[in-house]
Structure 1
Amino acid sequence: MKRVYYSAIKKFGLLRRLSRLLYTFFVRINYKVNTARVKTDDKTILFGAFNGKSYCDSPKQIFLAMQRDDFFKEYKFIWVMDHPEKYKYLMDFPHTAIVKNGSVEYERALKKSRYWITNFRVDYYLPGENQCYIQCWHGTPLKKLGYDIDYCNNSLNSVEEFREKYLIDGKKFTYILSPSPFTTEKFTSAFNLKALGKENAVIEQGYPRNDYLYNYTQQQVQALRQSLKIPVGKKVILYAPTWRDNSHESGIGYSFKPQADFDMLRKRFGEQAVILFRAHYFIASRFNFDKYSEFVYNVSDFDDIAELYVISDVLITDYSSVFFDYANLTRPMIFYMYDLDEYVGQIRDFYFPLSELPGDIVKTDDELAASIKRALDDFVPDERYMRFKGKFNPHDDGGSSARVIDRIFKGEEK
């Protein structure tokens, strides 16, 4: 039945829009009923990452910074999770609770919390006049977003539907976090903030999510390698591709089949390195990794990709925003864009020329292997790399979370 439904809404835009309007209407009615007796508490904060899928990203780093700050010793913290049972350890933090995503308890937590801190669009719920919705977002954009999209080949959204979703979120959030002047400019246009009179909603103090990249320890690196059973002495190649707008399968979701020739890569680098495969959180990968055990590790369910960054020696990606964050480590990056000709002009356009990317752009397996060898053997960051890092991460220094907290909660701006 679910497969039939998704097939229908992919084909018929009017049906898709109508079903979303009806769903939103009923969600909001239920929310009002379920929270009618709930009062908002000025010292309760709700956190969510990737719509409840994990404990990570900017919400995690802001939460941890609050745990270290005596200013919040009387505050209560609530995390929303799809699977609360996996995150019971969070309740070891003072005054911290967990609610299940989509439950009545979640709706009541939304109403109770004076502050919402998320890195995803809160599509169906509206914050009250006395509530503060802090949109952390989840990366510097390479692909155009929202009102900046001129065309796209998305399976579930037209250009107009994309723009409407961003406009709705732009109206709702109180603040949106930005790591750079570039991102501030793009968020302002993508969310149509100028037309909304909300240009001052952007807080440009660096990305809290990247604080960990400046504050991690070698003991943490060793512990992470051991937890993943990575052999001592082997290099780590992190392969983190993004999803494709046109790859949605009815009843399954967005899917991805890695295109890299792992047989060839194992033959070339199996004695020297391992590959960590990390799919985008949208993706339901249908690839069987059993054939490549002890060489390719599927870490798609690993909560915090920042922890994978710090244990890796090389990043391979494509159009994902992960490379902006990874640049903070000044380590080699490879852009495996085997479908570049199809992607540009048909699926999604970019915000800047790919010539600015801080690494090799490769399209074939042979080119990929040659680039991996160079990255492992003799990488030295060049002027292009350092220029890229300065442009897109000018404020990242390990203290972004503290600056964001000072601005929003303490009325201080540094």
Structure 2
Amino acid sequence: MRVTFLETNSLATITVPVVKVIDNNLIRIRIDAQALQFAAFNQSEFTWQLFLGFEANHEHVLLQVESEYLSDRHQLSLTSYIQFNSDSEGMATLSIHTQQAEDEFSINSVNLVDDTLKLTGNSLINNQPIKDQQILLRDVNTGEALSYPTEKGTLRGLFSVSIPLSDLPENADVALFIHYMVGTQKVEQRLILARSLEGQNVQTVLSSGRMALLEKSFNNGLIVKEFPAPTVVEKLAAAPSKLGAIVEFGRTIQDKINLQRMRLLFKLGHRPNEATTIVFESFGGRQVSDSPFAIYKLFKELYPGFNFVWSIDRSLKKFCRQNGIPYVVRRTSKWVRTLEKSTYWISNARFPAWVRKPKYVTYIQTWHGTPLKKLGLDIENVSMPGTTTSKYHANFVKEANRWDALVSPNDYSTRIFRSAFGFNNQILKVGYPRNDELINATPEDIVALKERLGIPLDKKVVLYAPTYRDNQFAEKGKYTFELPFSLDEFKAQFGEDTVLILRMHYLIANALDISDYTDFVYDLSSHPDISELYLVSDMLITDYSSVFFDYAYLKRPILFYPYDYHLYKDELRGFYLDYEKDLPGKIANNQTDLMRGIAHDLEVRDMSGNAKFMKFYDRFCAIDDGLSSLKIVNYVVHQIEKNV
């Protein structure tokens, strides 16, 4: 008997003999964890499946090992840990995580309770106790530190510590660190919490009448602030925001009542308009943008005799009026009639499940990007509240097959759309209409764009467009944010001839303070057309966002800065691509790498001569000839002609 380990990425195998058979048909094997990690292929994360091999009736038998066991994080060293888990199909997996940052120590919980800061964390490395643990509260301005010893936690292998907040000086701003001994080695690391602060107590009123607040920095570090409690006048000034919360609650109740009315209106049934009517929607009505807008603009130019209507959120009414865009406000009686009496829907996202699609409507789904993270049926475990994995999958397939045609930018996406959406209708592999602008723009167009956006013509432009992270969620409705690199250092190295454009998620854009850097930083997070930001930039910096698929059309440098990659590796197992091998650019793991990468890429400018980049381009961008919008318009017109 033997056990074979198969690494799912590299397909490496290791076979070890069964060294002991014990009672109840249990077997025991031993393997050094170091054997389960290797330097080949630049691989830093390893997931092993287990197979039991034996001989039976002169045949070789190999059975995959099932498991119901879920282990906690088992720290192997300062920079690696191992976990044994069960995958979505109930099969055993053994994961080795390496290349953790040496200066990080992940804790389990942190809370402010009355006058006390309470922490819990692991006290073992490779099953050996770490000694002389001290929690340090270091002033971020002066560097002075307060030190507190840990105690044995309520569970084996855990420590706990309770720190009196009364020890904090007034207006203190302290970062949390840990100091301990491993053998004869002294180690000091900053404390981090990988997940969000949701569920933790993040603020407290001290017995002195002052307050303490717990926050997270961009790199998941923990900071405690002590400050005066609000005065009566300040509390009264905050009253309008509380009133706003009450008003918002009332709106929520009204929305639920309106939803029932919408459902009833859709059930009444309607007849289509005699004239061809096409309804456009982008991101659930929140924007007039993306591929639907590119198709709309060309339709208006070529076939102005059709009726065009945009389905929008109420907040876009002014924008549509100013730009002469016909619209209908979502979730109104007129909206229901417009949808039901139209003959074509063109959208880049899903309509609500309760919206009834008449048989005479042709629904064209443009989608909104080349998929990087797994979608739909390919998501093995759905953890959204109010649903189960099977219900989520069933609803996704039901919605997707309302689409009569689905736009695809490449063969890679086509295969994923078929599997992830359970989609059985027509695929239109023509490229994304929104990217026509990238292919057709001239140098004169780019100059005009820069002038309109107020970007200096004589300076290089770096675009930073990261994905949204929820790990800096502070409390319901409140988000904190810091840039994961120093603007001062960026300015020192590149400020004379380079500007920086920030394109952040709307939830954190308002939490970003760049008031001291407006001479070279442009926050264009609210700019409606990200393609224009692509065009005016000389290089892109991103992390896990799929924006790089579109940016690659320009054949300009792309630098990846996943500063928390190894911390979030488990979540990122949901990628379709191998993040460490398949990207069209270099990966910067820290600020030093980032600055070096920016300096290099700003000198390159054109990636046409880079073999790895062009291999990516040929796979994902090559079919788009700048005529995608025309192909979709022609497809719709052919459908109209067939039905005349």
Superposed pair shares fold, TM > 0.5: yes
| Bigger-Rg structure (1/2) | 2
Query: 2:292 corresponds to which residue?
Result: 59
Q: C-alpha displacement at 1:376, in angstroms? A: 0.5
SS of the aligned residue for 1:395 comes to coil
Query: 1:73 corresponds to which residue?
Result: 304
Structure 2's unaligned 5+ residue stretches are: 1-197, 200-254
Asked if structure 1 preserves the Cα contact closer than 8 Å seen for 2:561 and 2:587, the reply is: yes
SS of the aligned residue for 1:211 comes to helix
Asked if structure 2 preserves the Cα contact closer than 8 Å seen for 1:252 and 1:284, the reply is: no
Asked if structure 2 preserves the Cα contact closer than 8 Å seen for 1:116 and 1:133, the reply is: yes
Q: C-alpha displacement at 1:346, in angstroms? A: 2.7
Q: Distance in 2 between matches of 1:358 and 1:300?
A: 24
Q: C-alpha displacement at 1:143, in angstroms? A: 0.8
Whether 2:363 is the aligned partner of 1:133: answer yes
SS of the aligned residue for 2:305 comes to coil
Whether 2:452 is the aligned partner of 1:227: answer yes
Q: C-alpha displacement at 1:380, in angstroms? A: 4.7
Q: Distance in 2 between matches of 1:211 and 1:113?
A: 27
SS of the aligned residue for 2:396 comes to helix
Query: 1:394 corresponds to which residue?
Result: 622
Asked if structure 2 preserves the Cα contact closer than 8 Å seen for 1:154 and 1:245, the reply is: no
Query: 1:43 corresponds to which residue?
Result: 276
Q: Distance in 1 between matches of 2:611 and 2:267?
A: 55
> Aligned match of 2:468 in 234, 240, 243?
243
Structure 1's unaligned 5+ residue stretches are: 1-9, 12-22
Matches within 5 A, 1:10-409: 27=259, 29-33=261-265, 36=268, 38-41=270-273, 43-69=276-302, 72-82=303-313, 83-91=316-324, 97-124=326-353, 125-151=355-381, 159-160=389-390, 162-193=392-423, 198=424, 200-244=425-469, 251-252=476-477, 257-280=482-505, 285-346=510-571, 349-354=574-579, 355-381=581-607, 382-409=610-637
- Higher alpha-carbon deviation: 26-35 or 328-337: 26-35
Asked if structure 1 preserves the Cα contact closer than 8 Å seen for 2:265 and 2:336, the reply is: no
Instruction: Looking at secondary structure, tell me which structure has more strand per residue.
Output: 2
SS of the aligned residue for 2:311 comes to strand
Q: C-alpha displacement at 1:384, in angstroms? A: 0.9
Change (3 A) 1:99 1:297: same
* Structure 1 residue identity aligned to 2:361: Q
Q: C-alpha displacement at 1:282, in angstroms? A: 6.5
Asked if structure 2 preserves the Cα contact closer than 8 Å seen for 1:154 and 1:246, the reply is: no
Q: C-alpha displacement at 1:167, in angstroms? A: 2.2
TM-score, normalising length: structure 1: 0.83
Asked if structure 2 preserves the Cα contact closer than 8 Å seen for 1:214 and 1:397, the reply is: yes
SS of the aligned residue for 2:363 comes to strand
Q: C-alpha displacement at 1:53, in angstroms? A: 2.3
Which has the higher relative contact order, 1 or 2, with Cα contacts under 8 A spaced 6 or more apart? 1
Q: C-alpha displacement at 1:146, in angstroms? A: 1.1
Q: Distance in 2 between matches of 1:152 and 1:308?
A: 34
* Structure 2 residue identity aligned to 1:60: F
Deviation digits for residues 46-103 of structure 1 (CA, Å, limit 9, x no counterpart): 111122222221001111121222xx33211111232210222432xxxx51122333
SS of the aligned residue for 1:172 comes to coil
Change (3 A) 1:105 1:251: farther
Whether 2:638 is the aligned partner of 1:410: answer yes
SS of the aligned residue for 2:522 comes to strand
SS of the aligned residue for 2:271 comes to coil
* Structure 2 residue identity aligned to 1:129: K
Asked if structure 2 preserves the Cα contact closer than 8 Å seen for 1:280 and 1:300, the reply is: yes
Change (3 A) 1:181 1:190: same
Deviation digits for residues 226-256 of structure 1 (CA, Å, limit 9, x no counterpart): 2222123011111111123666666438875
Q: C-alpha displacement at 1:283, in angstroms? A: 5.5
Change (3 A) 1:289 1:158: farther
SS of the aligned residue for 1:356 comes to coil
- Higher alpha-carbon deviation: 321-330 or 45-54: 45-54
Q: How many residue pairs end up in the alignment? A: 382
Change (3 A) 1:156 1:293: farther
- Higher alpha-carbon deviation: 158-167 or 101-110: 158-167
Asked if structure 2 preserves the Cα contact closer than 8 Å seen for 1:39 and 1:112, the reply is: yes
Change (3 A) 1:31 1:78: farther
Q: Distance in 1 between matches of 2:638 and 2:400?
A: 24
Change (3 A) 1:343 1:153: farther
Change (3 A) 1:153 1:218: farther
Change (3 A) 1:156 1:278: farther
Q: C-alpha displacement at 1:343, in angstroms? A: 2.6
Change (3 A) 1:162 1:272: farther
Q: Distance in 1 between matches of 2:336 and 2:567?
A: 42
Change (3 A) 1:220 1:158: farther
SS of the aligned residue for 1:123 comes to coil
Amino-acid identity (%): 35
Asked if structure 1 preserves the Cα contact closer than 8 Å seen for 2:461 and 2:500, the reply is: yes
Q: Distance in 2 between matches of 1:283 and 1:163?
A: 30
Asked if structure 2 preserves the Cα contact closer than 8 Å seen for 1:136 and 1:177, the reply is: yes
Change (3 A) 1:256 1:167: farther
Q: C-alpha displacement at 1:325, in angstroms? A: 0.8
Q: C-alpha displacement at 1:319, in angstroms? A: 1.1
* Structure 1 residue identity aligned to 2:282: A
Q: Distance in 2 between matches of 1:303 and 1:328?
A: 20
SS of the aligned residue for 1:138 comes to coil
Change (3 A) 1:282 1:132: farther
Deviation digits for residues 178-222 of structure 1 (CA, Å, limit 9, x no counterpart): 0101000001111122xxxx1x32211111111111122333322
- Higher alpha-carbon deviation: 34-43 or 305-314: 34-43
Deviation digits for residues 259-281 of structure 1 (CA, Å, limit 9, x no counterpart): 22222112211112111111245
Q: Distance in 2 between matches of 1:40 and 1:253?
A: 45
Q: Distance in 1 between matches of 2:517 and 2:388?
A: 38
RMSD: 2.9
Change (3 A) 1:152 1:31: closer
Q: C-alpha displacement at 1:411, in angstroms? A: 4.8
Asked if structure 2 preserves the Cα contact closer than 8 Å seen for 1:135 and 1:175, the reply is: yes
